[in-house]
Amino acid sequence: MSNTTVITIANQKGGTGKTTTAYNLAYALSNEGKKVLLVDFDPQGNLSMCFGIEQPDQLKYSMFNVMNAIMSDEPLPPAEKYIHSHGNIDLIPSNIELSVAEINLRDEMGGEKTLASLLEPMKSNYDYIIIDTNPSLGLLTINALAASDSVLIPVNPQLWSATGLTQLLRIIVKVKKRINPRISIEGILMTMCNTRTNLYKEAFRLVKVYYRETFRIFDVQIPLSVKVGEANFYSQSILEFEPKSKVAIAYQELAKELMLHGN
């Protein structure tokens, strides 16, 4: 049995820091000696661009080709064609073509397990697989949940709403009942936090009121910082770009908390 942990980063709201969290958590886990596979499962391809792929839409091989091969019962492309590597971190990139795969999944028998069938034989190569999802609750997100051991939910205090989070949690419960009984909530991660503002204080209070008794709320909170955007612009993680920054330290602490209390 594999000891690999598969974590989906999910929130149907945009602007919560899903991609930033996936990218920097991977680097933080790598710093702890872990081998990590990043899966860009968002047709926007933002994670792929963070990884240094400047024009993901021009890739000859991407997640679309892999998913399409599985759905067509065709051989997968050679791994070296679609897996990109930086040190201890690998990436399966994505681009706009993945939205076509999502349409095709509707007619695919057992389509919700397509990603799981790809990742299962790859688990022996990695300690962690981290899946970055698009801001929706469609078939791609359900595929990611079906392949995962747990879900990490980033929450931006400026955008938080109990209704939005409840919709995501309902989907996770359905996936657990019908498709993937092993899935659990890894925790709620507060991102882009300016702890001095009343908005942050009220949002964090409400998150605790609604969810503290049911789910972990990570001790670590990710500060708001323009340095994250600068790091993304240069296709670097914040841990590479400015390793002594508060954000870099926070993501390193998140990795340690995840390793200690994960799943």
Supply the pTM of this predicted model.
0.95
Q: In this predicted structure, what is the pLDDT of residue 129?
A: 98
Secondary structure (DSSP) of 189-230: EE-SB-TTSHHHHHHHHHHHHHHTTTS-B-S--PBP-HHHHH
Does residue 13 have a pLDDT over 80?
yes
The residues pairing with 165 across neighbouring beta strands, listed in sequence order, are none
Q: Which pLDDT score, from 0 to 100, does residue 165 have?
A: 87
d(CA 9, CA 58): 25
219 in Cβ contact with 9 (< 8 Å): no
The mean per-residue pLDDT over the stretch 217-232 comes to 94
**What are 99-140's pLDDT values in tens digits?**
998 888 888 888 899 999 999 999 999 999 999 999 988 999
pLDDT tens figures, 130-172: 999 999 889 999 999 999 999 999 999 988 876 778 899 999 9
Q: Which two tokens stand for residue 84?
A: 């990109």
Domain 5-261 falls in which CATH fold?
A: Rossmann fold (3.40.50)
